[in-house]
Chains A and B, each alone.
Chain A
Amino acid sequence: MIQLINTLLIGITAGSIYALMAIAIVLVWRSTRVINFAQAGMALLSTYFGYEAMVHLSSFWIALPVAMIGGAAVAAFIELVFMRFLLKRSAHGAISGVAPIIATLGLLGVIRALTSAIWGGQDVRIVGPVSNVGYSLGANTLAFSPLKLLILVTVIVLVFLLSLLFQKSNIGLSLRASAFSPEIARLSGIRVDGVRTLGWSLAGASGAVAGMFQTVNGNGSFSPDSIEFSLLLVSGFIAAVIGGLDSLIGAVIGGLVLGLVISFVLMYINSSLFFIAPFVILLIVLFIRPQGIIGAKAARRA
């Protein structure tokens, strides 16, 4: 019984982190209709920013905002310099549809190589601000600790803030309009370029938080080779797709589902299977509902 509860708790915590990654991917998709495979790499880079802040300022509470700002800045930079150029150039040709995808893959490789070269040799560890030792429930220890509670609360707050932003302002609509018909959006007075950059910045910040939490939730160390990073890369994308690439709520649901599934596979079956589980879920969902759990049944353009 306690094992079941623990599995659920671990799954929900991990799932909330994947939800953040998924949100990042959805934000980018919404604003530029590009799947940013480099998102996890950017999250990794932001986490290194956070690590440097930890080393010099010894406070997680400062490191987290530093990582978020760093992540937003990197994302905005990439959008301004890289993406605009790319989207202009690759409007035609055989691989026009997938040129942005391939470019982001290249970007991922570059970020991985650079971070590994710069920080690879050190023992990079981030210690959470509160303990990760679980609460006790009688004789048993719950897989729920002050740290995990912090993670959940932060994610809930962030999602709440984001949806508030999207509801109270026109940002959500502007994002979608800018992606679908930039000309018409401009004519309506939307600052298309600014809105796009904003979308990317929010995604970068969201990814940074995911990276920081994924690190402290594990055993504190991280690197481009670590399992934690691979999970972030794969799960972020798959959770976004499962949820239907267009909706924030879908991203959250996708993240939670994925987190729970991976947790169950890890605890009950076999630790080496947990990379196949996301793939199987993806296949199943795409087969049954190609538009995702909360996707609109829009026509899929090639």
Chain B
Amino acid sequence: MNRRKLITVSAVLAVASLAVTAVPAQAAEVGVSSTEIKLGMTLPMTGTASPGYSKIPAAVKAYFDYVNANGGINGRKLTLVVKDDQYVPTQAVAKTNELILKDKVMALLAPLGTANNKAVASVVNPGRRGIPVLFVNTGFSGFADKKKYPTTFSVLPSYIMEAKIMSEYIKDNFDGKKLGLIYQDDDFGDDALAGFKQAGINFAVKVPYASGSQSGTTAAGWVQKLQAGGAEVVILFGVSSATAAALGTAAVMKYAPQWILGSVGGDATTIKAAGVPAGVLYNAVGASFAPATTDTNDEYVKLFQDIYLKANPTQTFDNNVMIGMNSAFLTAQAIQAAGKNPTRKSLIAAIEKSGSTFASAALVPLNYSTTSHIGYNGYWFGKYSPTGDLKPAGGVYTVYTTDSGDGAVVKSTYKRPAMPAKGLPN
């Protein structure tokens, strides 16, 4: 076989493999059949950033199965397709492409990561294609911009909001102390920096870390810098694995400032699972917008915990699980509000119209409207107990709300409405 023939043969092979795919018939709405609605999620299931977050799919699936067992939504089952992007933006793009082109999901649910979502938004461009991106699992304030991200809905309070509320807490409790900050060196961390700047907070030591570089070895460098700078109050605004690395290494180097944990990396169960002794967490400050996971008197905590542990008896119910199930709950309500024959357009319209009245476990209101894709907008602060669980200060949830701009931080008077029957959309 001469060379030319071989090129031709291999070329024909390639061309044939491309052509063999049948172009499928057009469905009623992508991802919606008469029996099921398919949703897709990308998040780190493996990799350096995955601890803690890898439990979210099981949590969401547990709630969806609960809904399906109770008749589904207008007779359709909710299914979740999960892809692992290892917290790498380029992989997030590839996996999201798969979800849209191969798995043909109706909407994307709770994709995790600021950088990941930004990459997907600019490359895959779900906004231009009309694909809803529901309840993104990131607090980046930019995603609330309806013009730039027309089909994206935030849910978590933005990092700017969190930083502003945190700053109030610091001014009230740690005035005059030297402040340190560990933050991720990308848009996630930059958002927080913007919030702190807004609130007029100055840091004596700022330690950025490159996403993916967090480990015991590198954390030694962070702690070294904080110690050298004399920081007495240190804010940990990174992912769970970075927070755990910082706490664990600081303990070994006998450095014990007042820790303040950001919401992203503040899940106590994950940190303790990484080997940080509960004693290190004791008296650290943390924040959340949902009830404490140990608050078993709360009706939502009780129900969600029940559902989750029945489906995953060997796992622990923690904050990641609760927020995941809450988002699943919101999704179910959104799909129901989208009508008997939901489409991507009707889903988006439904959230804009009635999203602010959706039931949720949070102690903060939802702010969806035709002009706003902002979800929650507030936090309560608390301290970690001797067993390392976050509890509200003084046993009472004092919630503060604010915005991502220059609005003031105010105490919230929001009263959470009662949970609908059985925790199902009505």
Contact = CB atoms under 8 A, between A and B. Distances in A.
Direct contact of A and B (CB under 8 A): yes
Interface of A: 3, 6, 10, 14, 116, 120-121, 123, 125, 127, 132-134, 136, 141, 143, 145, 217-221, 225-228, 231, 266-267, 271-272, 274
Given A227-B218, A266-B217, 4 more contacts: A6-B224, A121-B54, A132-B252, A225-B46
A26 B48 CA distance: 31
B336 interface: no
Q: Name the residue among B220, B228, B255 with the largest chain A CB count within 10 angstroms.
A: B220
Contacts of B47: 225
A125 to B, nearest CB: 5
Contacts of B51: 123
B228 A219 contact: no
Contacts of B217: 14, 218, 227-228, 231, 266
Interface stretch (B207-215, B327-335, B340-348, B378-386): B207-215
A274 B275 contact: no
Interface residues of B, number: 33
A265 B245 CA distance: 19
A274 B220 CA distance: 13
B253 A219 contact: no
Given A116-B46, A225-B46, A266-B218, A133 B213 contact: no
B274 interface: yes
Given A219-B216, A219-B274, A271-B213, A3 B228 contact: yes
B221 A272 contact: no
Contact of B221 (A123, A136, A228, A266): A266
A271 B275 contact: no
Contact of A267 (B185, B213, B224, B244): B224
Contacts of A226: 48, 215
A10 B210 CA distance: 21
Given A134-B252, A145-B252, A271 B222 contact: yes
A127 B216 CA distance: 13
13 contacts: A6-B224, A125-B274, A125-B275, A132-B252, A133-B252, A141-B254, A219-B252, A221-B216, A225-B46, A225-B47, A266-B217, A271-B213, A272-B185
Contacts of B274: 123, 125, 219, 221
Interface of B: 46-48, 51, 54, 86, 185, 209-210, 213-222, 224, 228, 244-245, 248-249, 251-255, 273-275
Nearest to A265: B221
A134 B255 CA distance: 11
Q: Name the residue among B86, B215, B254, B273 with the largest chain A CB count within 10 angstroms.
A: B215
B275 A221 contact: yes
A120 B51 CA distance: 11
Given A133-B254, A221-B275, A272 B48 contact: no
A242 B254 CA distance: 35
Contacts of B219: 219
A228 B217 CA distance: 7
Nearest to B220: A10
Contact of B48 (A125, A133, A225): A225
Contacts of B251: 133
Kindly list the 5 A-B residue pairs having the minimum CB-CB distance in the complex, ordered from nearest: A218-B216, A219-B216, A227-B215, A272-B210, A271-B218
Contacts of A127: 275
Nearest to A275: B213
A248 to B, nearest CB: 26
Contact of B273 (A123, A132, A145): A123
B220 A143 contact: yes
